[in-house]
Amino acid sequence: MTGWIARGVAAHEIGIATRAKALGEKIRNDLAAAGVPVVDLASTAHDEGVNVGTMHRMKGLKFRCLIVAGVGEHSVPARAAVTPITDDKHAHALDMQRERCLLFVACTRAREELLVSWNGMVSPFVEPMV
């Protein structure tokens, strides 16, 4: 992100999407502590700063540069959002498709550059470039 800012991308042209609200809060706090102006997409404030919010909050928005953070195997798909396959195969398939679509929508908010990050193993929805 600092590379984008150094190249002249304004903070308000940068978005950061997360699956979990808690990760977004951590990112906002870390950026603010580093002196980077931050906007919480869940708030009604329209300040100038890096826009941080959940993947759900990204719908309808566009950013010049976007980070989709925390796309690990335990976060995307969110376990709480997916019916176990042993309970209901059909509901499980629908839930998995909804989670895949949520990631897709978040990633398509980037106009010029997209960075997808994870810790540990990547989400089964992402095939990393080698």
Q: Is the predicted pLDDT of residue 46 greater than 80, yes or no?
A: no
Phi, psi of 12 (to 5 degrees): -70, -10
Q: Which domains does the chain have, with CATH numbers?
A: 2-116 (3.40.50.300)
Say how far apart CA 23 and CA 98 lie, in whole Å: 20
Question: For the whole model, what pTM was predicted?
Answer: 0.92
pLDDT band for position 2 (cuts 50, 70, 90)? confident
Handedness of CA 36, 37, 40, 41 (dihedral sign): negative
Q: Is the predicted pLDDT of residue 41 greater than 70, yes or no?
A: yes
